[in-house]
Each structure stands twice: as C-alpha cells, then as structure tokens.
Amino acid sequence: SASELEEKYGTSINKGLSSSRAAEILARDGPNSLTPPKATPEIVKFLKQMVGGFSILLWIGAVFSWISFGIQFAQGAESPFDNLYLGVVLALVVILTGIFAYYQEAKSTNIMASFSKMIPQQALVIRDAEKKELPAEQLVVGDIVEIKGGDRIPADIRLISAQGCKVDNSSLTGESEPQSRSCDFTHENPLETKNIAFYSTTCVEGTATGIVINTGDRTVIGRIASLASGVGNEKTPIAIEIEHFVYLVAGVAISIGVLFFIISVSMRYKILDSIIFLIGIIVANVPEGLLATVTVSLSLTAKRMAKKNCLVKNLEAVETLGSTSIICSDKTGTLTQNRMTVAHLWFDNQIYSADTSEDQTTQPFDQSSPSWTALSKIVTLCNRAEFRPGQENLPIMKRVVVGDASETALLKFAEVILGDVMSIRAQNKKVAEIPFNSTNKFQLSIHETDDPNDKRFLLVMKGAPERILERCSTIMINGKEEPLDSEKAEAFQTAYMELGGMGERVLGFCHLYLPENEFPDTYPFDTDSMNFPTSNLCFVGLLSMIDPPRSTVPDAVSKCRSAGIKVIMVTGDHPITAKAIAKSVGIISATSETVEDIAKRLNIPVEQVNRREATAAVVNGMELKDMSLQQLDDILCNHSEIVFARTSPQQKLIIVEGCQRQGAVVAVTGDGVNDSPALKKADIGIAMGIAGSDAAKNAADMVLLDDNFASIVTGVEEGRLIFDNLKKTIAYTLTKNIAELCPFLIYIIASIPMPIGTITILFIDLGTDIIPSVALAYEKAESDIMNRRPRNKKKDRLVNEQLAVYSYLQIGIIQSVGAFVTYFTVYAEQGFLPSTLLGVRVDWENNAINDFEDSYGQEWTKYQRMYLQWTGYTAFFVSITIQQVADLIIRKTRRNSIFQQGLFRNKVIWVGIFSQIGIALILSYVLMAYWFVAVPFAILIWVYDEDFKLSLPPLPLTHPC
C-alpha cells in the first residue's frame, strides 16, 4: 500500500523527498543514467593502429636500418646516412598509415557519437512539497514523479495513482500494443505486473504518479544494457580475412627474408650487407599501402551505403553484410510499414481488397454499391481520430493523427476515398458518443444527418465483429436491409474467419437510423443510461486492418533468396499475423507448407506428418522455450523458411546463437533496448534509425536510416561487391611484390648491380599504386553477384592459395621478367652487356674502382656507375608501372573477360591509370624508350589472363538451401 511504500523508500507521497535527502541518495547511487560502455582510451586505439598488421614488420625493417646505420657510422663508411633515411622513411610510413587508419576509425565513430547524444530529459518531480522540473539524471530512489502522455518514463517507477495511463513497452518487451498501467499489483514478475513503469519506455496516454524505485544501471533497461555489453564483440569476417592475409604475406616475407639471410651469409656476404638485404626483402614483400587502401575502399563503400540509407558504424561491417547468410529480421517497422492500414473490406457478401501501399492516393475497389456508402459513413463518423492541423499539404499517408492505430487507419482510409473527412463530420454533427472500452468492445456515436430533409438521427457503431453482430437483426445487402438469417450469419462467419486467418484485425460496422417520431430534434441522448436502442441494428460490413508489408520488401526477400541468404522472421507478434506477413513478403513462399499446413491438407494429426516434407516452420515462443538446443538446431537446419512468433528478447539471442552454431554469418535487425544483446551477439547488428532506441543503435554495427528491409539487401550487394573488389585490389597489389622481390634475390645470387632500390619500391607501393588500387573499389559488380551463395567463411577466403599463386608465381613472374628486360636494356645501351653484369657486384660497388671497364672498353667512375644504377632503378620502376597498368586492367574482373566487363564503365580506373603514369613521370626521368620495353610483357599479362579466365569453370549457381 501507499504508506508501506512511503516507509520503504523513506519518502512522502505528497511532499516528496527533501532536497538534502535527495542529494544524499544521489551521492550514494550516482546519477540516474546508463553508464556508457567503457571506451578504449584514444591513445591505446592509436597505438594499436601503430603495431597492427604489417606495421611490426616495417618497424623491424626500420630498426634494422638504424642498426646498420649505427654500425656503418661507427666504421666510418662513406654513405651511412642512406640507411638512416630509409629507417626514417619506413617509420614515417608506419606512422602515417597508423594515423590514417586511426582517423578513419575516429570518423566513423563520430557519426555514431551524434546518435548517442540524447536530449537532456526533464522530469516533473515533487521535492520539498513542491513540483519541480529536474533533469532526469538527478532523480533518486524515493522521488515522486508525475508522468503524462507523451513523456518518457524517467526511471523505474512504482505507480501510486494512474488515470487511463498506457505505456509503450515495445522497446523493452517487443510488444507493439500500448499497455495500460494502474496501481494494482497484478503479477509476481515485475515485467508483467501493471503497477510498474519502466525507464526509457514511453507513456502514450493518460497521467500517473509514482515512486522511483530504481535508477540508472539498476533499472531493468540498465540491466539489459549491461547484458549487452557483456556479450563479447566478435571479430568481423573481414578482420579475420585481413589478419589471415597479413599472416600469409608476413609469413612469406619472413621466410624468404630469413632464407636469403642465411644464403647471403653462407655466400660470404658481410652480416651487415645481409641485414640490408633482409630489409630490402621485407620492404619488397610488405604491401605498405594496402591496409590504407582497404580502409579507403571500405569507407568509400560505407559512404555509398550511407546514401542508400545504411549508416555503417564500424567500417569492417561493410563487408560483413556481404557475407551474411542468415538475416534475422524484425517484423514491425522493418518488414512492415509500422502502421495499421485497411487491407480488406467485406460488404454485400463479398470481400474486397484495399490498396495497402505506402503512398496510396485512391482505392481501386468497387465503390458503387450503396452498402459502401453506408459503410463509409460509419467509418467516417464513428471515429474519434483527427488529423493534427496544418498538414494539408502533406500526402494523406504522411499526416500525423491523434488517435489510436485502428482509428488512424480508418481515418486515413476514409480520407483517401471520400476526401475531407473533417467537413463530413462537421456536416453530420455528433450529438452523443460512447467511446470504446474493453467491457463493451464497441464504440458508438449518434449524429445528425447531412441531408437537411432527413430529420432522423443516425446511430453508428463499430467494434469486435461478433459483438456487433449480436446487436444486429438485419444486414445490408446492396443497400437494402435484409433480415439476418442463419445463412447470412454463416457468410459473415466465413468472411470473419478468412480475414482473421490472414492475421488481420477485423472490425464490424453497423448503423441504425433512429425514427424521427421517437427521437425528435431535441431528444436528450444520455450515454450513461443509454436511452436509445443498441440492439436490432443493421449490420453493414467488416473492415480488416493489418500493418502491411512495405512494398519493397517482397522483392528484397526474393533477392535475398536468390543470393542464398535465408531470411528468418523473429517477432513478438501473434503467429497468425506473423505467418500472414511472412507469406505476403515471401519469407514463406507460396508453395511451401508448414507441418500444420500439411496436417490440415492431409487431414492427419500433426504428429504423423513427416517433418522433412515441410519446408516452412512457424515456431511459437512458447514452443521455443521448451526446446533443447538440438531441437532448435534441427529446425534451423531443416527448414528453409522459418518464422519465430511471440518470442521474447532473450529468445532472440538464443536464435542468433543457434544460427551461428550452423556456421552462418548472421545479421540481426532490431530496434528495442531488449534487442541490444542479440544485436551485439550477431555478426552484424542492424538497428533501426527511426524506430530504434539509442541502446540498440549503440549495440549495432549498422543503422538503417529508413528502417527498410530492402536497404539491407542493397547493403548486402555493396558488401559482396567490396569483398570482390578487395580481392581484386589485393591481387593487384600482391602481383608487383614479386617484381619488387626478384631483383633482391637475383642481386644476391647472380651478383648483378642492384636493379631496384628500397626507396623506389616505396615509390611504387605508396606512390603510383595507391590510386589505382582504390579505383578498383569503384569497379561495378560482375553480373552474377546477387545470384551467388554467400561466401563460405572457411573456404572462400579473401586471399586464397589460388589468388596468391596466380599473383605471385604467374603474373608476378611475368612482371619481373618484363622489368628485367628493361633493366638489361638500360645497361646494354649504356655499354654493359648482360654477360658483363653477372658476378660483377663486388667490383661494381667498390668505391675505389673508378676505371671500371664496360663491355666496350670504356671506363667508369664509381659515381657514374651509381648514376647508371639509378637509371636502372628508374627503368625498373617504370616498367613495373607499365605492367601494373596491364595488371590493373586484368584485375578489373575476376571471371569475366574484359570485353564483357567493358573498359570504360569504371571511369575511376582511368583516373587510376593516368595518375599512375603521371606520378611515375613526375618521380622519374628516363628516356621515353624505356617506357615501352616492358609493353610486350604488359600485353602478355593481359593475353595470358584472358586465357586464364576463359579456362575457368563456370561458377555453380545458387539454389536456396
């Protein structure tokens, strides 16, 4: 009772807490807000970027450079500073890429930060016996707060008085219907009992006063939120792939490096020289610019997705969506429009369908029958909902209505067909009204008619169909009242069942013209004593309403299906409604049956049905509760079309885990706070931007700005595209590594003058190649992208053996050979024939030999040789660049011929090619002729690759599982 409560919380219902007491409790309990999830300190994030990926290798390279600088400097060698600079450059590369990655991450985090900023909430509190507006954060246990319709509940509250109070608990429990609240204790379970209102839910209507019983993290929502932060964040698939790739390349780099370190030591190179070789090999092997390129590509896609209403919080999630194999979707708001709409009508013994699309302007069904005229009049008049003023210019469907969902639906429906409802109501002045209540289950109003000659009053009534029918003795058929015999009642039952079976909410409508003589103009209608007839009315028709699917959803679902993605509906709604929506959007396809359907068709008990025959399943939350994990796995595995109805938030988590046990990459959509654990658990959590709560948005990786399921599908497409394109980028980048590595290996083994310098390699990796590899991210999809199955996490890797082998051992080798031809050409044209070059290294690099004889008998100083060597570097660089152009063109496609894909569809590729050549021109000055030496090899690369693509077996197409 109230006094017990007062005692328990040390407060007074009339006076509230004293300010000083409140301050004490505030100090004890802390502010009434959810503690945000612990953020990693910025500096730690930054340092992580500095040591992740290839950075370690490059740091090693830099440290080695400095060590060899130290040794050389101590020995007084001639040019020790080269190594110092190299080390500095390597360190700079690491730091710059680190800063870049950090910046990118910070940018995407910032987008989200704007979401989590909540408008400071105010609460009306009684303290020191005065009503005060206080920020909700300062509420403490024992405070008395007042709530009215439209407010957000500022804390967990035990109600002590309530007037028609209804709360929307959807963010907590997923129930979309507002629930009434009173001060009566009705249930042991705090979630079920009617006298508690929960933090962050909304009061829809009515007013209430209550005592704060929990604040901050101790509220029910707070506990769920902390549950969410307890669910570990899984590594995204792309992060795993990139890690795999880094290991692979680092493995190659380290093993080749160590191998050649040993070889060079045993070939009696000095240790110091061997270390320098090692640095060169590491630098050649590590694609310095690649991780930055990947980040850029991902953020480009993220931008593109943002334009399509998918706001990506975590860059890597861009790709996750592409590898998604199961989508667990909410129903309300995501698949459906989240507003009741009239879907069917029944009058004149016939069912008519109404247009339920988002932007209806007319209704196509037959409106000529006089029955419809009568029905429409009831719909218009027996309705308390009203448009908010000042919205005349908005489309009807977008206008804001004051009133409950059904009435809103009816109002809009009437407005679409009849035009200005308000003026019709004004012409038919209301004289009396009984609003809907749960005992009567009907709503009634009495109007004057708009016909000035007709002095009768019109009584209109709507409500639960069976209750309405009970009060009727006649039924209107084609405008004529006919007696309601059992045959007609039967027809009514059939129609009612049919509409109900479609998961629709059905309302019955009836009317009665009150006889003029009994009810004259001045008749005093009294709604309490009901001094007018409420039976023997004339039944007019039924209207059924549903929250209709968004018009884009069926198409999106079928796209998912052909893309091999299983769409599972998880909803708190009633199974029948859920199944109806699932059918209408294609989650359950027209031909497939559930176990129950088969049983019904074959007329056998459910137990006897062969469960394997049923492709679809509708699972009730109650059934799910009793299921073992195995049974759940069984269902997830054996049914391709699944709907979970009446599920609780915890069950959503179980379903997600079940899907993940199947090895699937699971996307989950959700909007409520209760969804946040599932969103977090999912491989990619998708929160709704409009309906979503902040907690959901925080837990999610992605936010759908338009709450539309179809946006997910575009997201999937982008995700798959970027995965393909990243593959291309990586293949493109890896190829030239061989052309950069071979010079070192051949230099060590054949002792020729160094063909390419470490810094030159960096020019390629961080100069010419960057823009082209980003350009590949703009590549359009190869035709089959949405007809493929989602990639298998284990088999279909970003960098697989085939890609590595093809890049390294085939295209890479061709490139190296091409570059070496240029190299030998440069030397030969300057006087050193290839035969002279072999084994020449020691003398060539000897500073004292300044009359080094070439193949023609000319004599060279050391510096002249070095200058020639640099020319060689440049020529090597140029020919790698030229061949990278060919590489870029072949990498545009993975399977299609370039003739199919077209050279000009991706304009950015051309920007890439021109930038590549432009940068090379700026960085180098060599004779134009050397640009063309490698061209035959560039052509060879292209021809070879076309043949390779021709030889590929066609991809297996998908068939839904």
Annotated catalytic residues are: 330
Q: For other proteins, which stretch binds (CB under 8 A), given 199-207, 418-426, 502-510, 808-816?
A: 808-816
In the complex, the smallest distance separating the C-beta of residue 854 from other proteins, rounded to whole angstroms, is 7
Question: Could you tell me which residues come within 8 angstroms of residue 427 by beta carbon, excluding any fewer than 6 positions away?
Answer: 450
Candidate residues 124, 265, 821, 898; the one interacting with other proteins per rule CB under 8 A: 821
In the complex, the smallest distance separating the C-beta of residue 874 from other proteins, rounded to whole angstroms, is 12
In the complex, the smallest distance separating the C-beta of residue 728 from other proteins, rounded to whole angstroms, is 22
**Closest CB to other proteins among 475 and 878?**
878
State how far Cα 608 lies from the chain centre: 41
Rounded CA-CA distance 636/642 in Å is 8
Rounded CA-CA distance 920/769 in Å is 10
Is residue 613 exposed (0-12), middle (13-18) or buried (19+ Cβ within 10 Å)? exposed
Q: What is the 3-state secondary structure (H, E, C) of 200-223?
A: CCEEEEEEEEEEEEECHHHCHHHH
**Closest CB to other proteins among 227 and 935?**
935
Q: Would you count residue 936 as binding other proteins (CB under 8 A)?
A: yes
In the complex, the smallest distance separating the C-beta of residue 871 from other proteins, rounded to whole angstroms, is 7
The helix/strand/coil state of 442 is strand
Is residue 113 exposed (0-12), middle (13-18) or buried (19+ Cβ within 10 Å)? exposed
In the complex, the smallest distance separating the C-beta of residue 879 from other proteins, rounded to whole angstroms, is 11
**Closest CB to other proteins among 631 and 810?**
810
In the complex, the smallest distance separating the C-beta of residue 951 from other proteins, rounded to whole angstroms, is 11
Candidate residues 69, 492, 820, 931; the one interacting with other proteins per rule CB under 8 A: 820
**Closest CB to other proteins among 410 and 880?**
880
**Of residues 193, 212, 236, 209, the one with CA closest to residue 324:** 236
Could you tell me how many residues make up the chain?
Answer: 961
Q: Would you count residue 80 as binding other proteins (CB under 8 A)?
A: no
Q: Would you count residue 69 as binding other proteins (CB under 8 A)?
A: no
Site for other proteins in 870-909 (CB under 8 A): 871
Report the half-sphere exposure of 129 (CA within 13 A, side-chain side). 0
In the complex, the smallest distance separating the C-beta of residue 894 from other proteins, rounded to whole angstroms, is 20
Candidate residues 81, 103, 185, 867; the one interacting with other proteins per rule CB under 8 A: 867
In the complex, the smallest distance separating the C-beta of residue 936 from other proteins, rounded to whole angstroms, is 7
**Closest CB to other proteins among 5 and 817?**
817
Nearest-5° angle of CA 386, CA 392, CA 396? Answer: 65
Beta bridge partners of 336: 549
Site for other proteins in 504-533 (CB under 8 A): none
Rounded CA-CA distance 873/31 in Å is 66
**Of residues 350, 404, 342, 352, the one with CA closest to residue 379:** 342
Q: Would you count residue 828 as binding other proteins (CB under 8 A)?
A: yes
**Closest CB to other proteins among 436 and 932?**
932
> Which two tokens mark 907?
């304009």
Q: Would you count residue 247 as binding other proteins (CB under 8 A)?
A: no
Rounded CA-CA distance 718/238 in Å is 14
Rounded CA-CA distance 946/330 in Å is 45
Q: Would you count residue 241 as binding other proteins (CB under 8 A)?
A: no
Q: For other proteins, which stretch binds (CB under 8 A), given 63-71, 487-495, 666-674, 830-838?
A: 830-838
Q: Would you count residue 817 as binding other proteins (CB under 8 A)?
A: yes
In the complex, the smallest distance separating the C-beta of residue 603 from other proteins, rounded to whole angstroms, is 52
Site string for other proteins, 835-864 (x = CB under 8 A): -------------x-xx--xxxxxxxxxxx
CB 473 within 8 A of CB 412: no
Candidate residues 91, 673, 933, 941; the one interacting with other proteins per rule CB under 8 A: 933
Q: Would you count residue 868 as binding other proteins (CB under 8 A)?
A: yes
**Closest CB to other proteins among 195 and 822?**
822
CB 554 within 8 A of CB 589: no
In the complex, the smallest distance separating the C-beta of residue 796 from other proteins, rounded to whole angstroms, is 18
User: Number of residues in contact with other proteins, rule: CB under 8 A?
Assistant: 36
**Of residues 945, 671, 677, 645, the one with CA closest to residue 803:** 945
What is the Cα Rg of the chain in Å?
37
Q: Would you count residue 833 as binding other proteins (CB under 8 A)?
A: yes
**Closest CB to other proteins among 93 and 819?**
819
Start-end of H helices in 471-620: 486-501, 553-562, 575-585, 595-602
Rounded CA-CA distance 242/508 in Å is 61
Q: Would you count residue 813 as binding other proteins (CB under 8 A)?
A: yes
**Closest CB to other proteins among 243 and 433?**
243
In the complex, the smallest distance separating the C-beta of residue 835 from other proteins, rounded to whole angstroms, is 10
Rounded CA-CA distance 211/2 in Å is 10
Rounded CA-CA distance 584/502 in Å is 10
Rounded CA-CA distance 355/358 in Å is 9
CA end-to-end span of the chain, whole Å?
A: 58
Candidate residues 809, 838, 903, 922; the one interacting with other proteins per rule CB under 8 A: 809
Candidate residues 77, 831, 942, 946; the one interacting with other proteins per rule CB under 8 A: 831
**Closest CB to other proteins among 260 and 860?**
860
Going from the C-alpha of 236 to that of each of 27, 666, 786, 900, the distances in angstroms are 41, 11, 21, 33
**Closest CB to other proteins among 49 and 825?**
825
Pairing relationship of beta strands 505-514 and 537-546 according to DSSP bridges = antiparallel
Site for other proteins in 722-761 (CB under 8 A): none
Q: For other proteins, which stretch binds (CB under 8 A), given 181-189, 493-501, 551-559, 809-817?
A: 809-817
Query: What residue has token string 């680092």?
Result: 250
- Please report, as ranges, the residues that interact with other proteins according to CB under 8 A: 809-810, 813-814, 817, 820-821, 824-825, 828-831, 833-834, 848, 850-851, 854-864, 867-868, 871, 933, 936-937, 940
